[in-house]
């Protein structure tokens, strides 16, 4: 999480990668980050350790813009490396916030990169500053560095554990010291992190697709609440140790990883993301059937679900929208005005498959409704007879505070309208249906939602947050309950 100067929380989406004991550590990290680029497109950083010191390159822009030339990689020598891709929602796209963050501590240097948000980061940061800490960035990853620095523990691994025990929220963290590469997931396991292996070199990555690109083996997930410490010993041997510093609890991966965030070819918590998305589309077809001539995905996010919808309904699947691949995600554009414009840059209607037809339009999710509004209009202008919008996830009624870029609750389409009819009218469709929460659970887990024995976190759709939201409640003076009351009132 980032904090702007007024103390407001700025959310970010990220991906992390790390590798120990490989002669091409920096180049492999660049490749891994390239495969994780969908998790953050604004900035990328790599830190290595080699030749007796740490080296750092941090840049705004895409991985491919900076880390493909030999000169940059030559500035990142060493057989241990870690990196980060990042996308933040507001103006704080400044270099000082680009991760990994690095600090010299009494026992040697440490670099840390983080995917997720700390829900008590602001509180801890204020306490640290009140006690004399000097913060250089507005990123709360820096809070972890300070807590590591202040820990009374001796070894860097123990200090790291000491620090994360004070943090709440959703996180996948990777840290690099002179001899160790550490990976950690929060007690609920909200954000994913996998352990890989490339001929004996251990790897951490946000998603398994970052292992595939370098031909590494997917060993297992780092478990919720687990800290995995990979160490290169003096004799050159690499050891891997697992610590469980938190009381055990069920894993609760964020369902939004399956709905939208993760790449379809990744395996998240043992489930193939592509398959879960197709199932979401199949369940959507069962729940929200409509007579139509063609199923059209909103690319790329809606494509697997649209394939599932077409297979289940028997309605032909066609590419009725062509995506321009030379623009980034719509969300990259920081203002609502530019975002609205951005959709046109990204998608155009394929008139041949749309004119005179009854179209089922399938997207993965609706957040603000910007995409839907533009796409429905575009399909109509291309001559569709009817446009039926089908969304392969439930209505998003609550903001995320764990590393997914959803806006404040008031900006969510579902909160701006009293009912489905009103939303449908707003986006200009003939009909609008969302996947039910049970349909989503069935697609991902195969069993219905059980709030008593949670299998996932579904807070975006239900408001059932898996951790306390200390900063939100204390600092902004608004509890999620107040926020949802606000929603019900308006």
Residues that bind ligand 5GP (CB under 6 A): 260, 298, 301, 329-331, 363-372, 404-406
CA count, 13 A, side-chain hemisphere, 271 = 24
The one of Mg ion, ligand 5GP, none whose footprint includes residue 29, by CB under 5 to 8 A per kind, is: none
CB of 314 to Mg ion, least distance (A): 25
The one of Mg ion, ligand 5GP, none whose footprint includes residue 48, by CB under 5 to 8 A per kind, is: none
The one of ligand 5GP, Mg ion, none whose footprint includes residue 188, by CB under 5 to 8 A per kind, is: none
Q: Does 304 bind Mg ion (CB under 5 A)?
A: no
Residue nearest to Mg ion (CB): 301
For strands 194-198 and 201-205, give the pairing: antiparallel
Q: Candidates 104-112, 179-187, 235-243, 299-307 — which segment interacts with Mg ion by CB under 5 A?
A: 299-307
CB of 260 to ligand 5GP, least distance (A): 5
Q: Is residue 424 annotated as a catalytic residue, yes or no?
A: no
CB of 407 to ligand 5GP, least distance (A): 8
CA dihedral 201, 245, 107, 233 (to 10 degrees): -30
Phi-psi region of 43 (alpha: psi -120 to 50; beta: other; left: phi over 0): beta
Q: What share of the chain is helix, strand, coil (3-state, %, to 5)?
A: 35, 25, 40
DSSP H or E run through 25: helix 25-35
Q: Which is nearer to ligand 5GP, 173 or 298 (CB)?
A: 298
Instruction: Report DSSP letters for 218-255, one per residue.
Output: EEEEPPTT-EEEEEE-TTS-EEEEEE--S------EEH
CB of 121 to ligand 5GP, least distance (A): 19
Yes or no: say if 443 and 425 are a contact pair by the CB < 8 Å rule: no
Select from 227, 220, 222, 230 the least CA-distant residue to 244. 227
CB of 169 to ligand 5GP, least distance (A): 17
CB of 339 to ligand 5GP, least distance (A): 7
Nearest 5°: CA angle at 203, between 201 and 204? 165
Q: Which is nearer to Mg ion, 46 or 367 (CB)?
A: 367
Q: 């043992």: which residue's tokens?
A: 270
CB of 261 to ligand 5GP, least distance (A): 7
The one of Mg ion, ligand 5GP, none whose footprint includes residue 178, by CB under 5 to 8 A per kind, is: none
For strands 358-363 and 294-297, give the pairing: parallel
Backbone angles phi, psi at 368, to 5 degrees: -85, -20
The one of ligand 5GP, Mg ion, none whose footprint includes residue 365, by CB under 5 to 8 A per kind, is: ligand 5GP
Distance CA 371, CA 353 (A): 20
Q: Which is nearer to ligand 5GP, 78 or 304 (CB)?
A: 304
Strand partners, 183: 174, 228
DSSP H or E run through 375: helix 370-381
Question: Binder to Mg ion among 45, 121, 297, 301 (CB under 5 A)?
Answer: 301
Q: Which is nearer to ligand 5GP, 151 or 399 (CB)?
A: 399
CB of 370 to ligand 5GP, least distance (A): 4
- The residue annotated as part of the active site, out of 14, 230, 424, 460, is 14
Yes or no: say if 12 and 405 are a contact pair by the CB < 8 Å rule: yes
Q: Which is nearer to Mg ion, 301 or 394 (CB)?
A: 301
Q: Which is nearer to ligand 5GP, 201 or 393 (CB)?
A: 393
Q: Which is nearer to Mg ion, 256 or 465 (CB)?
A: 256
Q: Which residues contact 478 (CB under 8 A, 6 or more apart)?
A: 472
Q: Which is nearer to ligand 5GP, 160 or 309 (CB)?
A: 309
Distance CA 393, CA 254 (A): 13
Length of the chain equals: 490
Binding-site string for Mg ion from residue 14 to residue 53, where x marks contact by CB under 5 A and - marks none: ----------------------------------------
Q: Candidates 16-24, 45-53, 121-129, 294-302 — which segment interacts with Mg ion by CB under 5 A?
A: 294-302
| Total of chain residues touching Mg ion, rule CB under 5 A | 1
Yes or no: say if 188 and 255 are a contact pair by the CB < 8 Å rule: no
The one of ligand 5GP, Mg ion, none whose footprint includes residue 232, by CB under 5 to 8 A per kind, is: none
Active site residue ranges: 14
Interface with Mg ion by CB under 5 A: which residues? 301
């Amino acid at each position: 999480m980032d904090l702007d100067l007024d103390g407001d929380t700025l959310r970010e989406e990220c991906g992390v990668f790390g590798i120990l004991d490989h002669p091409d550590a920096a180049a492999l990290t660049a490749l891994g980050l390239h495969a994780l680029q969908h998790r953050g497109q604004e900035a990328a950083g790599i830190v290595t350790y080699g030749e007796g010191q740490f080296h750092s390159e941090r840049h705004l822009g895409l991985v491919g813009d900076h880390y493909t030339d030999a000169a940059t990689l030559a500035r990142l020598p060493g057989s241990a490396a870690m990196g980060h891709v990042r996308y933040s929602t507001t103006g704080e796209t400044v270099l000082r916030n680009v991760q990994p963050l690095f600090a010299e501590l009494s026992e040697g240097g440490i670099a840390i990169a983080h995917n997720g948000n700390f829900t008590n980061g602001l509180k801890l940061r204020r306490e640290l500053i009140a006690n004399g800490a000097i913060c250089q960035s507005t990123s709360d990853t820096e809070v972890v560095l300070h807590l590591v620095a202040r820990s009374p523990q001796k070894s860097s691994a123990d200090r790291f554990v000491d620090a994360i025990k004070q943090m709440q929220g959703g996180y996948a963290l990777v840290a690099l010291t002179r001899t160790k590469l550490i990976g950690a997931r929060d007690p609920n396991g909200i954000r994913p992190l996998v352990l890989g292996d490339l001929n004996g070199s251990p790897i951490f990555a946000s998603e398994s697709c970052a292992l595939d690109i370098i031909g590494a083996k997917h060993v297992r997930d780092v478990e919720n609440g687990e800290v995995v410490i990979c160490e290169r010993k003096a004799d050159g041997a690499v050891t891997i140790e697992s610590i469980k510093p938190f009381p055990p609890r069920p894993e609760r991966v964020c369902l939004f990883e399956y709905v939208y965030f993760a790449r379809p070819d990744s395996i998240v918590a043992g489930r193939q993301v592509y398959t879960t998305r197709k199932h979401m589309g199949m369940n959507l077809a069962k729940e929200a059937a409509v007579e139509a001539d063609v199923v059209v995905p909103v690319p790329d996010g809606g494509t697997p679900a649209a394939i599932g919808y077409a297979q289940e309904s028997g309605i032909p699947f066609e590419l009725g929208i062509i995506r321009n691949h030379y623009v980034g995600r719509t969300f990259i554009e920081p203002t609502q005005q530019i975002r609205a414009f951005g959709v046109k840059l990204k998608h155009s209607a394929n008139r041949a498959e749309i004119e005179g037809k009854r179209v089922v339009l399938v997207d993965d999710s609706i957040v603000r409704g910007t995409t839907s509004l533009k796409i429905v209009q575009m399909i109509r202008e291309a001559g569709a007879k009817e446009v039926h919008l089908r969304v392969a996830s439930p209505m998003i009624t609550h903001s995320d505070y764990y590393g997914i870029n959803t806006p404040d609750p008031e900006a969510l389409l579902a909160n701006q309208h009293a009912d489905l009819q009103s939303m449908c009218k707003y986006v200009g469709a003939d009909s609008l249906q969302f996947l039910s929460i049970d349909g989503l659970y069935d697609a991902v887990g195969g069993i219905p939602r059980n709030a008593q024995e949670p299998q996932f976190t579904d807070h975006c759709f239900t408001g059932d947050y898996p951790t306390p939201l200390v900063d939100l409640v204390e600092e902004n003076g608004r509890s999620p309950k107040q926020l949802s009351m606000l929603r019900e009132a308006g």
